[in-house]
A and B are shown apart, each in its own frame.
Chain A
């Protein structure tokens, strides 16, 4: 059953299109990673799903309803980002108590346990926390709410590496115990690809791809070698990324639809076959140009 369904979803801000003709579905009880560059529309999409922002055109249905101004969606969704608004007057422990009133599925022991584990001070005020501590607190609240749809927008901002690791582990463990639909948006795909099930890749407000993580890892391969050999191998294929190494050697990333024989041919030609990580692949797929940042320097040389 699909929890979220979008058809031709568009969101304009004046002349700029934040989301443009976006169509996808997210199934129940999955962890989806929302990946894309800055300004790709991730936050806009997530806020539209949560019902904070109204789409300009197209259809969106969350839990079977339009999420904008919908109490049902709000009661079953938790949206955690790095500027969550909390009342200034309450201490952290008071906050946890107040929040638990709003969520019938609130897990008191989990909240308490995580709170103590991360060493947060119950008598402190939210405004006095550091950025990393704020993210930690937001994460604790989001997990303990046990909402059917939990959305994390850049949840690890400011967290140090060990806290991030703990967060992913906690997320996974709780998800296994109490399955729910989770959407996670992050820059650090390399860190989270182990816990993600699916990936939704956005570029300029449009969907580039949506597929399970394993498929993404296998989707492309890198070829490194002589420029002529590579051109031969990749004749007619769609090149995802090109990179000049030195002299005549280049690196090329293409879709992995090579047959066994083609791969052997590559070996013969002295072309190296490389794995492309999901992280790098997403970067290439959402790049503006094929050559990446090297283009800037190449152009400079020409001039």
Chain B
């Protein structure tokens, strides 16, 4: 007689997390592809260029930064939850030992790990851009200030970018799981969203507040924050809300249908 196994949730969580790290390596490969393309673009495309001059003298100033790489990393961050909430990928958990809670939490752990990795590579790649640029073009044309990034700035960059990626991933993970729900819920969700948008459009004259203003306000809530600690709190709370929502949804979902 097989003695019955009494599983420990935490134990299973750990096993699932490491299992997912091994099996989702393709996501990291995608990230690298995105970043290499972005590095190439950063060297070639000038983000801003201004020129000014007087008489016979004209200055052309081109600005470079690692923003393109971070932008592409954020785009990659959008693809990751879409893949993880795919029913084929979710079913893999249930081939083995799992319940919806452990499956979800190990997914979230994976997302956070990937955020960190994506952030570190994105921030370090701005250094790569600078070094490459130095060897490609005339050093005499490069401005000293802003070229050397001090370690504390790199650290701030890593923390901040990780938070941005987590924010994006949490929202999309929630939406991805929402998509798995029965059609009824999805229609309901969109109906509410459309109602809100229409409501704004109709009453914007009276409320003195348009939809664009609302979107701007939401953006600035995160982007306008100048204290790293407060920003971290904001992002982590938002992520917590969305991840909790996702956990709630996933406990209702059927698998391996």
Which residue numbers of A lie inside 8 Å of B, CB to CB? 28-29, 47, 51-54, 63, 69-72, 74-76, 79, 84-90, 98-99, 101-105, 146-148, 178-180
Residues of B within 8 A of A54 (CB): 254
The number of chain B residues touching the other chain, given as a range, is 20 to 34
CB of B257 within 8 A of CB of A101, answer no
Residues of A within 8 Å of B15, CB to CB, are 101-102
Identify whether the interface residues of A are mostly helix, strand, loop, or mixed. Answer: loop
Q: Which of B6, B25, B89, B91 contacts A72 (CB 8 A)?
A: B6
Cα separation A102 to B11 with both chains bound (whole Å):
10
Q: Report yes or no: B7 in contact with A71, Cβ–Cβ below 8 A.
A: yes
Contact B99 A69 (CB under 8 A): yes
Which residues of B (41-74) have their CB < 8 Å from a CB of A?
none
| Inter-subunit contact B7/A53 (CB<8 Å) | no
- B30 CB within 8 Å of chain A: no
B191 within 8 A of A: no
Q: What are 9 A-B residue pairs whose CB atoms fall within 8 Å in the complex?
A: A47-B257, A53-B254, A53-B257, A63-B4, A75-B12, A85-B256, A103-B96, A104-B5, A180-B1
A102 and B255 within 8 A (CB): no
Contact call A105/B254, Cβ cutoff below 8 A? no
Q: Is the CB of B254 within 8 A of A148?
A: no
Q: For A87, what are the chain B residues with a Cβ–Cβ distance below 8 Å?
A: 23, 92
Q: How far is the CB of A148 from chain B (nearest CB, A)?
A: 5
A294 to B232, CA, bound (A): 74
Cα–Cα, bound, A69→B248 (Å):
12
Specify the chain B residue showing the minimal Cβ separation from A85: B91
Docked CA distance A41–B9 (Å): 32
Q: Is B139 engaged at the interface, CB distance under 8 Å to the other chain?
A: no
Would A103 and B23 count as touching, CB distance under 8 A?
Answer: no
Q: Is the CB of A98 within 8 A of B256?
A: no
Chain B residues within 8 Å of A178, by CB: 2
CA distance A71 to B1 in the complex (A): 20
Q: Is B19's CB under 8 angstroms from A101's CB? A: yes
- Chain A residues, Cβ within 8 Å of B92: 85-87
Residue of B nearest to A75 (CB): B7
Q: Which residue of B lies closest to A70 (CB)?
A: B99
Per the bound structure, the CA–CA distance linking A63 and B6 in Å amounts to: 12
Which chain A residue lies CB-closest to B9? A71
Partner of B256, one of A47, A70, A72: A47
Q: Is B150 located at the chain interface by the 8 A CB criterion? A: no
Given A52-B254, A74-B94, A85-B256; A90-B22 close (CB under 8 Å):
yes
Cα distance A231–B139 when bound, in Å?
107
Known A-B contacts A52-B254, A72-B7, A90-B22; the reply to A102 vs B2 at CB < 8 A is: no
CB-CB < 8 A to A105: which residues of B?
2, 5
| Contact status B96-A102, CB under 8 Å | yes
Contact A74:B23 (CB < 8 A) given known A53-B254, A69-B251, A179-B1: no
B 1-31 contacts with A by CB, 8 A: 1-2, 4-7, 9, 12, 15, 19, 22-26
Residues of A within 8 A of B102 (CB): 71
**Cα distance A53–B96 in the bound complex, in angstroms:** 16
Instruction: Report A-chain residues with C-beta under 8 Å of the C-beta of B22.
Output: 89-90, 98
- Would you give the shortest CB distance from A9 to chain B, in whole angstroms? 15
Q: How far is the CA of A223 from the CA of B140 in the complex (A)?
A: 104
